[in-house]
Structure 1
Amino acid sequence: MPYEKLEINTPAPVLSWANHALGHEETQMAKNVASLPFVFKHVALMPDVHLGKGALVGSVVATKDAILPAAVGVDIGCGMAAIQTPYHAEQLEGKLKKIRLDIEASIPVGFNENKDVEKSITNWQHWHDFKDLHRGVQDLQGKAMKQMGSLGGGNHFLEVCLDTEDRVWLMLHSGSRNIGNKLAQCHINTAKELAKLAGDRLPDPDLAYFVSGTSEFAAYWRDLQWAQNYARVNRDVMMARFKRVVEKHVAGGKPFKPLLEVNCHHNYAEKEVHFGEDVYVTRKGAVRAQTEDYGIIPGSMGAKSFIVRGKGHAESYCSCSHGAGRLMSRNKAKNVYTLDDLIEQTKGVECRKDTGVLDEIPGAYKPIDEVMNNQSDLVEIIATLKQVVCVKG
């Protein structure tokens, strides 16, 4: 769909692909960001946009000479990974529960971590950079090592999916775990302290920022890149274990070569060139969708997901949505829905069906088909997936 320019009076315009009116709080959050003096050209809102902290989830913000730590968020490098296997649906028959139990045994979820650290993790080339990270995390290297290859909680998940041709895909959603959270909190607090000292009158304290050329900016950028690398490798480690589980049950342990592999961030910042200028692009709940970029747009634990390819739409800063987007808060979902609703909405999916995941019920999310229709100018759909196994964090 074509984007629309929101009718709000801000120094930088706000372009929206959401195809619906923003609520009062959402509109104010968009205004706050678009009023910052270093925002470049305009702010882009994706179809799944909803309330966040400081900046809207589902927003893309390009900045000149400054960066907003809270806009990146606390799960630095959170994103998705997926692989297409050579297997087909009939090869999974009668095996789904065993596959789910083996996934849960192989990959720690929630607050759990690995009991032992495997060699591929200890050999990661960036561990030697740990000593240069923010001093507030210096005692966390051991924990970070044990958490690499773990899922986390909330809306993180691992899924076995089928596409419309009954081909089997493996997909997961996770980020930089506790270490990314701690690094983010350290720098967000520093930015807020600097804003107070400078007497900055920010529209929201969570929009405290760092200016390029300062030591604080350099320290945040270094830690940000480290955490983004950690998040990507964390997904790689989990996917390798996930792949071995499926190989064991489908092919007697014989390894397969993926037909397609995708690993993309959706909470992160990078240096990019847009409209002929060097800028810092922060995607808070958005995926890069440059021409030929592959991305992943998941629905919910009972809905379709999509493998997409970017169209390089300039006005979106070559971006697309990162999912369906929440329709209601976690607390509201728990109050509105029952366990029977969850069982009904996840029919046909091998997954947990208890009150512990009630806040992740499909009804708490926006309809994914509507979200996809609203970004047909941003991406083309390569594969449509539906889960048959779902492991939640």
Structure 2
Amino acid sequence: MPVQMTLNKGTVPVRIWTDDIAHDALQQLQNLSRLPIIHHHVAAMPDVHYGTGATVGAVIPTRSAIIPAAVGVDIGCGMNAVRLSLKAHELPDTLARVRSAIEKAVPVGFEQHARTKVKGSAHARRARKMNDRLDAIVTRHPGIMKMQRRFNDTWMCQLGTLGGGNHFIELCIDESDGVWIMLHSGSRGIGNVIGRYFIAAAQKDMRRHQVHLPDRDLAYFSEGSDLFDDYVDAVDWAQDYAMDNRRMLLELVVEAIRPFLPRFSLEAEAINCHHNYVAREHHFGADVYVTRKGAIRAGLDEMGIIPGSMGTRSYIVRGLGNAESLCSCSHGAGRRMSRGHAKRHFSARDIEAQTAGVECRKDRGIIDEIPGAYKDIDQVMAHQTDLVEVVHTLKQVLCVKG
């Protein structure tokens, strides 16, 4: 059953779709609700937890302003999923060679595509289509270039790469034994640089105008200012880059696995959705900027992806267009433990036990991503039956981590 509670300690209420929320996340939500730029209410999704800058799982409508730290530094981070024409029984008995092929084709962690291979390739031509917009941003803000070493090459070479942390590529089986590819990535190093640059600029701007904030990370740009317009241009570019990064990742994965599986096709258009982003929308009688930090848009009949942790279930969902949630839902299970806590609490043996039946790394290097560090995805889904309906339930059988 859906769970909803309301926090009334700020200028506007906070609507929360769970009773499983830590005190520090509640405090962050309370700080958000005190800002004069918030429109109507803040919504917190069932996977809500403390985050850097602002609460993960928060949906934040703002009037004529945007909070860069709420958007965060993995601008445009999100999910991509597509169903293949294969059935589970057609997969090989062991998926080790399939995982190896994906890891060979897709750079993970801090790796990127070799510059010698990118130069003059279709990859580079694809990236150059985005180059003019980025040049215009960097011309106005050369400090962005100074923050990324070998700037012009790096962002191109990272297009079609996974990254690290909670980013992943998976093969999954649905309730009808259909096979899916699902992946999670964002705007890579260039998005991080753009995010950090404008977060610092917003904080400096607030100090210059002597604006008192409940948290310095809630510094914002006001519409009409040069910094606001420049940030909108930059964040739009990073969101487009993240979307194209996932498209290229999917293409690389499809081609990497073909030699190891029976002949297959893609059965439908891939679902490609952000869960760290800002967009212009209309809610409760006003045109506002909606920042979803760890939440996806769930407008009426809109398709979305809600991944569980490694070794659990994930969901393909259809939005119900719930106005109170600002047409949003959770973006995943949500962390219960910090990465540091998980590393201290679990062992490699725990990884093996909690990812039984999944072809994946099972070493200490991914302990921070162990299922036990996350909330129960089934409970998260139970708390948002008024936000989405489940279309497909997916079970991971292969997972590639950064």
Whole-Å separation in 1 of the counterparts to 2:32 and 2:162: 31
Within-5 A mapping of 1:17-96: 17-20=17-20, 22-96=21-95
Q: Does 1:299 align with 2:274?
A: no
2:325: which partner in 1?
Answer: 316
Q: Does 1:360 align with 2:369?
A: yes
What is the count of residue pairs matched by the alignment?
390
- The letter for the 1-side match of 2:40 is K
Within-5 A mapping of 1:145-160: 145-160=156-171
CA contact (8 A) 2:2 2:382 kept: no
Name the SS for the 1:70 alignment partner.
helix
Q: Does 1:210 align with 2:210?
A: no
1:10: which partner in 2?
Answer: 10
Shift of 1:381: 0.5
Name the SS for the 1:309 alignment partner.
strand
Whole-Å separation in 1 of the counterparts to 2:225 and 2:274: 26
Which stretch shifts more, 62-71 or 134-143? Answer: 134-143
Whole-Å separation in 2 of the counterparts to 1:54 and 1:148: 26
Aligned identity (percent) is 48
Superposed CA offset, 1:106-151 (max 9, x none): 0000000001224144234222212112322335121000000000
Query: Which of residues 257, 276, 281 is equivalent to 2:266?
Result: 257
Within-5 A mapping of 1:273-284: 273-284=282-293
Shift of 1:275: 2.0
Superposed CA offset, 1:11-70 (max 9, x none): 1000000133x3332221111100000100000000000001231100000000110000
Superposed CA offset, 1:52-92 (max 9, x none): 12311000000001100000000000000000011011111
Q: Does 1:131 align with 2:135?
A: yes
Superposed CA offset, 1:153-185 (max 9, x none): 000000000011111000000000000000011
Q: List runs of 5+ in structure 1 lacking aligned partners.
A: none
CA contact (8 A) 1:122 1:145 kept: no
Whole-Å separation in 1 of the counterparts to 2:8 and 2:215: 18
Whole-Å separation in 2 of the counterparts to 1:368 and 1:257: 27
Whole-Å separation in 2 of the counterparts to 1:7 and 1:159: 37
1:380: which partner in 2?
Answer: 389
Superposed CA offset, 1:282-308 (max 9, x none): 000000000111110001111100000
Q: TM-score, normalised by structure 2?
A: 0.95
Runs (4+) of structure 1 exceeding 6 A deviation are none
Whole-Å separation in 1 of the counterparts to 2:54 and 2:308: 22
Query: Which of residues 225, 245, 254 is equivalent to 2:256?
Result: 245
Which stretch shifts more, 316-325 or 7-16? Answer: 7-16
- The letter for the 2-side match of 1:324 is A
Superposed CA offset, 1:229-288 (max 9, x none): 00000000000011112222113xx56233342000000000011123210000000000
Query: Which of residues 222, 229, 233 is equivalent to 2:233?
Result: 222
2:122: which partner in 1?
Answer: 119
Name the SS for the 2:172 alignment partner.
strand
Q: Does 1:99 align with 2:88?
A: no
Which stretch shifts more, 112-121 or 230-239? Answer: 112-121
CA contact (8 A) 1:49 1:57 kept: yes
Q: TM-score, normalised by structure 1?
A: 0.97
Shift of 1:6: 2.6
Shift of 1:95: 4.6
- The letter for the 2-side match of 1:242 is V
Which stretch shifts more, 381-390 or 126-135? Answer: 126-135
Superposed CA offset, 1:208-238 (max 9, x none): 0000000000000000000000000000000
Shift of 1:5: 3.8
CA RMSD in angstroms, aligned pairs only = 1.3
Which stretch shifts more, 136-145 or 96-105? Answer: 136-145
Whole-Å separation in 2 of the counterparts to 1:6 and 1:121: 49
Whole-Å separation in 2 of the counterparts to 1:136 and 1:305: 40
Shift of 1:3: 5.1
CA contact (8 A) 2:40 2:284 kept: no
Whole-Å separation in 2 of the counterparts to 1:231 and 1:155: 15
